[in-house]
Amino acid sequence: MIEVRELTKRFGRTVAVDGLTFHVKPGRVTGFLGPNGAGKTTTMRVILGLDHPASGEALVNGRRYDRIRHPMREVGALLDAGAVQGGRTPLGHLSWIARANRIGRDRVVSVIEQVGLAGAARKRIGGFSLGMRQRLGIAAALLGDPAVLLLDEPVNGLDPDGVRWIRELLRGLAAEGRTVLLSSHLMSEMELTADHLVIIGRGRLIADTPMRELTAVRDVLVRSSRAGDLATALAAAGGTVTAEDGGGLSVRGLDPKEIGDLAARHAIPLHEVTPRGASLEETYMRLTAELTGGGAGR
């Protein structure tokens, strides 16, 4: 459980986070979205006690991060995969982290295997690719078998196998009852991974909703050789019908079953009945449109 309350963080005159409040609950993957510079990384840094907020607070399992005795055993975080010293090996890097939080040596070996770095465990990190560094960062986050995970753009640089691996890993961890906060700019990936979304812009909360509601069924696309007759019948039955380019009808207010039954009663042939949800990308674009104003933002 992560609680962010009325959090404000300034850098000089930039307000990076502005009175932000949200909770990240256990048992689900919470996606953390927002345009570049929205304050996602800053929020995570405050949660981890790295940045001091101007006001408000961020609590992990009910207390401030810096009050946790062995934080890696409660919270696993990956903020910046580059934040390692190239002169060390994964074994060396994970060993000191494990030692600092009294985590057994066997965990070091097992997370290295889990993230697929077994073959590179004794090679210098300096020679690693971005994807390998991400894997090492994930290994460090998983090291203490924590109940809370914070990951800032963890799929950057991962190959398709790696992306799917992270997705399944995070979904599995959430299913075990853990709290997972995940930021990413990849909407399609987020749509597959997250159950809940927190969207921020310019440091303020824009949405805090289940994924289901953002991508709920919006309308049904219907095609027929007698589109005109069908439109009349659907409208009479209480549907809102709009003609689309290409001869399709967008129907709201009736579900596919009702549409099919109605067409059968009128003996109108149907060529297609497709329920359509908004994609996360579309909804996200709509929600953040005014912030980015179509430009590149900040």
Partner 1 sequence: MIDALAAEWLKLRTLRSTFVVLGVVGVVVALMALLAWYAVHLWEGLPPGRRDRLEVSSLPELANWLASLCLAVLGVLAFSGEYGTGMIRTTFTVLPSRGRVLAAKASVVAVVAFCTGLAAVLATYAAGRLIIGDRPIRGQSAEELSRQMPLFLALSLSIAMFALLGLCLAAITRSAVAAVAALVAVWYVLPIVVNNVPAPWNERIGSILPGALAGQLAGTGNPQSLGGALLSPLAALAVTVAWVAVPYTVAAVLLARRDA
- If 0-12 CB within 10 Å is exposed, 13-18 middle and 19+ buried, where does residue 62 land? exposed
Name the token pair of 193. Answer: 């991974």
Kindly state the number of chain residues that form the binding site for Mg ion, as judged by CB under 5 A.
1
Using the contact rule CB under 5 A, the part of the chain among 38-46, 166-174, 215-223, 253-261 near Mg ion is 38-46
Taking CB under 6 A as the criterion, the residue among 28, 31, 34, 263 binding ligand ATP is 34
DSSP string, 178-234: -EEEEE-S-HHHHHHH-SEEEEEETTEEEEEEEHHHHT-EEEEEEE-TTHHHHHHHH
Q: Which does 16 bind (CB under 5 to 8 A by kind): partner 1, ligand ATP, Mg ion, none?
A: ligand ATP
Using the contact rule CB under 8 A, the part of the chain among 99-107, 206-214, 218-226, 271-279 near partner 1 is 99-107
DSSP-derived 3-state class of residue 168: helix
Nearer to Mg ion, 41 or 283 (CB): 41
DSSP-derived 3-state class of residue 150: strand
Q: Tokens 């889990």 identify what position? A: 114
Name the token pair of 202. Answer: 């310019």
Indicate whether 184 belongs to the interface with ligand ATP (CB under 6 A): no
Sites for ligand ATP among residues 11-30 (CB under 6 A): 11, 14, 16
Using the contact rule CB under 6 A, the part of the chain among 10-18, 61-69, 216-224, 283-291 near ligand ATP is 10-18
Indicate whether 39 belongs to the interface with ligand ATP (CB under 6 A): yes
Using the contact rule CB under 8 A, the part of the chain among 19-27, 92-100, 205-213, 247-255 near partner 1 is 92-100
Taking CB under 6 A as the criterion, the residue among 7, 38, 60, 150 binding ligand ATP is 38
Question: Which of 172, 166, 159 lies closest to 184, judged by CA?
Answer: 166
Taking CB under 8 A as the criterion, the residue among 34, 35, 71, 201 binding partner 1 is 71
> Cα(32)–Cα(185) distance, rounded to whole angstroms?
9
Least CB distance to Mg ion at residue 41 (A): 3
The answer to whether residues 258 and 291 touch, using CB atoms and an 8 Å cutoff, is no
DSSP-derived 3-state class of residue 125: helix
Least CB distance to ligand ATP at residue 40 (A): 3
Indicate whether 193 belongs to the interface with Mg ion (CB under 5 A): no
Question: Which of 164, 215, 178 lies closest to 61, judged by CA?
Answer: 178
